[in-house]
């Protein structure tokens, strides 16, 4: 499966932003889907994921209550809805897909990153 992420940009603190990830090659309902992020100079970190089939989601503590991960199987797309953005959310965000039931620490497929910059 190939993943194409988009939607990054410059936003003000407190605002919302939605990232999109369009998949091609195979239907995403065959994968667990998720998002990671990376701040320059730091390791990538898990943000959010949906188990294969979309029945269960999980979130990093630092985004719980602010971010959600909607999936649209008809468009073969997964999104990251980010609300109440903070400057510390500034990072490159990566869409991922995993062949297993849930997204592991090293997902099988990665899209290119999209940069989100949150200004204070």
Per DSSP, the residues of 27-92 read -GGGSEEEEEEE-TTS--EEEEEE-TTSS-EEE-GGGTTTEE--EEGGGTEEEEEE-S--GGG-EE
pLDDT tens string 38-79: 998 999 999 999 999 888 999 999 999 999 999 999 999 999
Q: How far apart are CA 6 and CA 40, in angstroms?
A: 19
Residue 63 has a pLDDT of 97
Work out the pLDDT band at 90, boundaries 50, 70, 90.
very high
Planar angle of CA 76, 79, 84, nearest 5 degrees: 170
């Amino acid at each position: 499966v190939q993943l194409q992420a988009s939607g990054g940009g410059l936003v003000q603190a407190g605002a919302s932003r939605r990232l999109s990830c369009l998949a091609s090659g195979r239907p995403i309902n065959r994968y667990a889907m998720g998002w990671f992020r990376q701040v320059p100079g730091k390791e990538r970190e898990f943000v959010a994921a949906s188990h294969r089939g979309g029945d269960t989601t999980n979130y990093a503590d630092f985004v719980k209550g602010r971010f959600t991960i909607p999936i649209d199987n008809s468009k073969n797309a997964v999104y990251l809805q980010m609300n109440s953005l903070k400057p510390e959310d500034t990072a490159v965000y990566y869409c991922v897909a995993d062949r297993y039931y849930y997204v592991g620490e090293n997902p099988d497929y990665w899209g290119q990153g999209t940069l989100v910059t949150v200004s204070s």
